[in-house]
Amino acid sequence: MARTQSRHHAPDELVTGPGPQLSRRVALIAAITPFVVIATDLLVAVLAGPGLRWLSMLAAAPALAAARYGPRSVIAFGAVSLAIGVTLGMRPGSPSVDDQAFVLAALAVITVASALLSALRQRRERELIAVRSVAEAAQQAILAPVPERVGSLRIAVRYSAAAAEASIGGDLYGVVLTPFGPRAIMADVRGKGLPAVSTAALVLGVFREAAHDEPDLLRVVDRVENSLRRNLGSDDFVTAVLVGFPSPDRLHIANCGHVPPLLVHRQVVTVVEPESTVPPLGLLELSEARPVLVSVAFEEGDQLLLYTDGVTEARNHQGVFFPLPERLQQHLTADFTGTLDALHARLLDHNGGRLNDDAALLLIQRAAP
């Protein structure tokens, strides 16, 4: 599910740990189990001789097939089981016809019931596919793939939604080229699902418009804050970090309650902490603290990593948080996108292949002219 051009991946493509491997293994077992059951019944019938015990075991084949195959295939498994039962029931010493008829009738009933369950399962699967298609369309409309190049910057993104079944989450990012230089945002909406997506769409819409209109990056923050104040509930908020590149060799950062970015300068990773603690967007009016621009030198080859707390709060089976600065330092390579690929792979390995929270990584590098 990787698309190298935009460096934006759908959530189900990103999860490549043991979880998907286990699912494929379970699907394979479910596919071959009905065949194994029929073969085992035949072997038992030949070795054990005439009787009803092995005949009743044949009902397991269509029942198990309902978990993997469609109604027609389930009926086919049932028909094969019935044919085997009738054929083996003709051997000398077999139970009476009345006894066999009762067991074979039960097998037929189980086959019909299994076929109905299979049809219901397929219907639910089609509904889930339709829901996921709508969710993915909404996700793509909001988190449009960022270009590989914005002005003098190279961009790479990796995104994983915790609600992988819906392919949708509450993290958001965006990069736009404005008359005042490239500008970027990384934010995390409180909550998940459709309410979070609605808020994410609002934040990105206001950011993209204000970023083109406002020369001052702090005015962009104010525009987003004012919009959220009018539209969010009292308990809702959005942590965000906004970055501006007013000149090729310098960047400005405004942090509103978000995890601090990581700066890679001359192959050394440092945390860009805000000058003061500022509440998230939507709650700024509750505090006297206001966001302050942090100005940082950004030389050719330097990189800036924006991310959400789903990355740093990912835990392994021992409860240890993912050490993002250390891992970034370890995986710095000459290949810009290779760094992010390796970092994302280590994140999934650390958390057992499946994240418990939405996680986004946005890596920005000042490239050569």
Q: Are 114 and 72 members of one domain?
A: yes
Q: Is residue 351 situated within a structural domain?
A: yes
Which pLDDT value is given to residue 208?
A: 93
Q: Which helix (H) or strand (E) holds 365?
A: strand 359-366
pLDDT band at 120 (very low <50, low <70, confident <90, very high): very high
Residues 50 and 151 in one domain: no
305 occurs within a structural domain: yes
Q: Please tell me whether residues 176 and 28 are part of one structural domain.
A: no
Specify the number of domains making up the chain. 2
Higher pLDDT, 367 or 303: 303
Q: What Cα–Cα distance (Å) separates residue 323 from each residue in 146, 241, 280, 338?
A: 26, 20, 24, 18
Higher pLDDT, residue 77 or 17: 77
Give residue 369's pLDDT.
67
Say if residue 95 is in the same domain as residue 230.
no
Give rounded-to-5 percent helix, strand, coil for the chain.
Answer: 45, 20, 35
Question: How do residues 162-197 score in pLDDT, each as one tens digit?
Answer: 655 545 567 889 999 999 999 999 999 886 667 777
Print the SS3 string covering 256-268. Answer: EECCCCEEEECCE
Closest CA to 314 of 355, 259, 360: 355
pLDDT at res. 181: 94
The residue among 120, 136, 152 that closes a domain is: 136
Which of 57-71, 108-122, 137-151, 310-324 bottoms out in mean pLDDT, i.e. has the lowest?
Answer: 137-151
Q: How many CA atoms lie within 13 A of 342 on its CB side?
A: 14
Instruction: Based on the fold, state whether residues 201 and 184 are members of the same structural domain.
Output: yes
Q: Report pLDDT for 4.
A: 33
Segment 92-121 mean pLDDT: 85
Residues 66-84, mean pLDDT to the nearest whole number: 90
What's the domain range around 41?
A: 18-136
Q: How is residue 331 written in tokens?
A: 């995986």
Residue 337 has pLDDT above 70, yes or no: yes
pLDDT at 333 over 90: no
Residue 352: inside a domain = yes
pLDDT at 53: 65
Would strands 250-256 and 171-178 be described as parallel, antiparallel, or unpaired?
unpaired
Q: What is the pLDDT of residues 207-230, one digit of tens each?
A: 999 999 999 999 999 999 999 988
Name the more confident of 43 and 74: 74
- SS3 labels along 148-179: CEECCEEEEEEEECCCCCCCCCCEEEEEEEEC
Answer yes or no: is 334 within a domain: yes
Q: Which of 101, 15, 21, 16 is nearest to 55 (CA)?
A: 101
Residue type, 315: R
Q: Are residues 108 and 153 in the same domain?
A: no
Instruction: Report d(CA 292, CA 35) in Å as an integer.
Output: 67
- Domain-terminating residue out of 119, 136, 153: 136
Claim to verify: residue 156 and residue 119 sit in the same structural domain: no
Q: Both 292 and 221 in a single domain?
A: yes
CATH number for 200:
3.60.40.10
Residues 160 and 34 in one domain: no
Q: Are residues 119 and 238 in the same domain?
A: no
Whether residue 149 is contained in a domain is answered as yes
